[in-house]
Amino acid sequence: MVEKPLIAVVDDDESIRDTTQDLLDSAGFRSAVFPSAEALLASVPVDAISCVIADMRMPGMSGLALHQKLAASDHPIPTVLMTAFPEEPARTQALRAGVLGYLTKPFTPEALLAYIGAAIRLGQGGMQPSASDGDDAERRARQAAKMEAIGRFAAAIAHDFNNILGAILGHGDLAQLKLAKGAPARRHVDEAMRAAARGKALVERLLAFSRGQPGARAPVRVQAIVEEALALLAPSVAPEVRVERRLEAADAAVIADATQLHQAVMNVCTNAVQAIGRSGVVTVALARARVEKPIVLSHGTLESGAYVRLEVSDTGTGIAPATLARLFEPFFTTKGSGKGTGLGLTLVRAIVAELGGAIDIKTELGAGTTFTLCLPAADELPRCFASTA
């Protein structure tokens, strides 16, 4: 039986040691805690440790000094430093010294585990940490921290948004009572009420997201969601922008949270319309697709099986390579101040991944962009998804 990796935690603060050890234990690692660098060096053979997590500032030997001592040994160990003092010079000094990662307290579990995962892979490969290994782990740690910030942001706005929606729904109810069903204005009020109801469901989803809870999944007809999203988007489309529909999967369903799926479709379609500007064509195509063997898309892998494929194409200006590389990064936006949060595509990617799907992007400067979302079909789920549905 393969022994679990041993992670050493070194911090003079007992509460930090205990909290970190609990996290490591729950993630399936063996852990040992030490109040000082000297205690670690005196207690455990260096070659028995897979990764060291150490406080940057401690009485006696500092975390950086511990890293330098371990790096000079016959069995170099990847080290992650943590600190409550996020000064940039200290971080730069640590990374230049070759530490695998640098965490600012309080840190998220995902950020810490990202670094530990990189350390374990290094140990299995029998090689020294490289700049790219540290950069990759640090990038994933920053991504985890940003996702946590999104959760806090979502929880903060949900309450106020609910109050606004309450007023809209209340006045909408009164308007419906005063308008006959056949009245010309009634149709617009009904559409506004449907949009407000969808917004209320979205608030509930935001609150669930902030608490780390998955959406309530059930079979959802994708074409109905796409048609509703396009209907809501129609009033904001410029007169010279043509939206072409090629919806050929009326009976196709996926196992999903309907509000989540609507949010993903709405974000992708809205981005396509905005990429057009004043004139152009947006094509929205929906169809079934079968994957005979695993294929790798630009953002994710599809296992063999049946899928529902949504393609949203625009004749806009295309996406520059530098922008494409950061497209799903939380809070990244190319829109002007007050015109974008940088969260739309981040949530699209999270939703698609949670549903067991993948995303493909094809773009050409001056010619436009095509976003393809592939989701497992409910009538024949791929093996990797069927076990979790």
Task: Kindly state the average pLDDT of the residues 264-272.
Answer: 92
Confidence category of residue 381, pLDDT binned at 50, 70, 90: very low
The reported pLDDT for the residue numbered 291 is 92
Cα–Cα–Cα angle for 6, 9, 10, nearest 5°? Answer: 140
Tell me the angle at which helices 131-178 and 344-354 cross, rounded to the nearest 10 degrees: 100
d(CA 96, CA 39): 26
d(CA 83, CA 99): 13
Comparing 111 with 149, which gets the higher pLDDT? 111
Confidence category of residue 61, pLDDT binned at 50, 70, 90: very high
**Nearest of 256, 226, 199 to residue 375 by alpha carbon:** 256
For residue 280, give Cα distances in angstroms to 209, 225, 238, 284: 35, 24, 10, 13
The reported pLDDT for the residue numbered 388 is 34
CB burial class (10 A; 0-12, 13-18, 19+) of residue 167? exposed
Q: 51 CB contacts (<8 Å, ≥6 apart)?
A: 5, 7, 8, 77, 78, 79, 80, 100, 115, 116, 119, 120, 123
- Cβ of 273: how many Cβ atoms within 10 Å? 21
The answer, yes or no, to whether residue 173 has pLDDT greater than 90, is no
Confidence category of residue 143, pLDDT binned at 50, 70, 90: low
The model's pLDDT over 206-257, given as tens digits with 9 standing for 90+, comes to 665 555 555 567 888 999 999 999 988 888 888 899 999 999 998 899 988 8
d(CA 141, CA 366): 35
Which residue is listed with tokens 């509460």? 15
Task: Kindly state the average pLDDT of the residues 48-54.
Answer: 88
What residue spans of the chain are helical by DSSP H? 14-26, 37-43, 63-71, 88-96, 109-125, 131-178, 184-210, 222-233, 258-276, 321-324, 344-354, 383-386
Q: 132 CB contacts (<8 Å, ≥6 apart)?
A: none
For residue 106, give Cα distances in angstroms to 77, 92, 145: 24, 19, 10
The answer, yes or no, to whether residue 382 has pLDDT greater than 90, is no
The answer, yes or no, to whether residue 348 has pLDDT greater than 60, is yes
The single-letter code of the amino acid at 230 is: L
The answer, yes or no, to whether residue 82 has pLDDT greater than 50, is yes
d(CA 119, CA 294): 29
Task: Kindly state the average pLDDT of the residues 132-141.
Answer: 51
The 8 Å CB, 24+ separation contacts for 68-73 are 68/97, 69/37, 69/41, 70/46, 71/97, 71/98, 73/46
The model's pLDDT over 88-125, given as tens digits with 9 standing for 90+, comes to 566 667 777 778 777 777 777 777 777 787 777 665 54
In this structure, the chain runs to a length of 389
For residue 385, give Cα distances in angstroms to 152, 179, 214, 223: 29, 47, 15, 21
* Topology of the domain comprising 146-213: Helix Hairpins (1.10.287)
- What is the average pLDDT score of the chain? 79
Kindly state the helix (H) or strand (E) to which residue 367 belongs, with its residue range: none
Task: Kindly state the average pLDDT of the residues 17-42.
Answer: 88
Query: At the fourth CATH level, which superfamily is domain 6-129?
Result: Response regulator (3.40.50.2300)
Domain residue extents for the chain: 6-129, 146-213, 215-386
**Of 35-44, 144-153, 161-170, which gets the smallest average pLDDT?**
144-153
Dihedral sign computed on CA atoms, order 67, 70, 72, 77: negative
DSSP annotation of 213 reads: P
Phi first, then psi, for residue 355 (nearest 5°) are -90, 0
**Of 164-178, 242-256, 267-281, 331-345, which gets the smallest average pLDDT?**
331-345
Which residue is listed with tokens 């500092």? 62
d(CA 190, CA 140): 44
The reported pLDDT for the residue numbered 142 is 56
User: Does domain 215-386 bear CATH number 3.30.565.10?
Assistant: yes
